[in-house]
C-alpha cells in the first residue's frame, strides 16, 4: 500500500483517498483526490470529481484507485462505469486504512 493513501467505508462502497502527487507528477496543486467505488450488479461505479477528467474519459486516478479497491475487496467485475461527481468524506464514515 502506498504511503498517504487511506480508505473509508461509505455504505456499500469505499472511498479511496489518493494523494494527488502520486498522480500528477511534480505537482502538488490539487491536494487529495477522493475516489468512491461501489459495486452495483456486476459493474464497478467509480465516482470522483477530477481536474484531469474533463471529457468523461478515464484519467490517471482511476487505475490506482481501482487497484486499491480490488486489493481490499477481492471483487470480480465486468465493467467500470465512470461518474464525475464530488465525493466528500463524512464524520460517520469508518476509516479502514
Ligand atoms: Zn481523476
Whole-angstrom CA distances from 74 to 14, 64, 69, 77, 91 are 13, 15, 8, 10, 26
pLDDT tens profile 29-44: 557 889 999 999 999 9
Q: Ligand 1 centroid to 89 CA: how many Å?
A: 17
pTM, two decimal places: 0.83
First to last CA, the chain: 10
pLDDT tens profile 8-23: 999 999 999 988 755 5
Q: Ligand 1 centroid to 5 CA: how many Å?
A: 15
Q: Ligand 1 centroid to 23 CA: how many Å?
A: 9
Give the number of other Cβ atoms within 10 Å of residue 76's Cβ: 9
| Residue in 73, 30, 72, 53 with CA at minimum distance from that of residue 18 | 30
Average pLDDT on 22-31 reads 54
- 37, 45 Cβ separation under 8 angstroms: yes
Q: Ligand 1 centroid to 61 CA: how many Å?
A: 4
Amino acid at each position: 500500500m502506498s504511503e498517504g493513501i487511506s480508505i473509508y467505508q461509505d455504505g456499500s462502497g469505499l472511498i479511496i483517498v489518493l494523494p494527488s502527487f502520486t498522480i500528477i507528477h511534480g505537482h502538488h496543486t490539487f491536494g487529495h483526490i477522493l475516489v468512491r467505488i461501489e459495486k452495483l450488479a456486476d459493474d464497478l461505479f467509480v465516482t470522483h470529481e477530477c481536474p484531469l477528467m474533463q471529457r468523461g474519459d478515464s484519467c490517471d486516478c482511476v487505475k490506482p484507485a481501482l487497484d486499491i479497491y480490488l486489493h481490499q475487496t477481492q471483487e470480480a467485475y465486468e465493467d467500470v462505469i465512470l461518474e464525475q461527481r464530488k465525493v466528500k468524506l463524512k464524520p460517520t464514515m469508518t476509516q479502514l486504512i
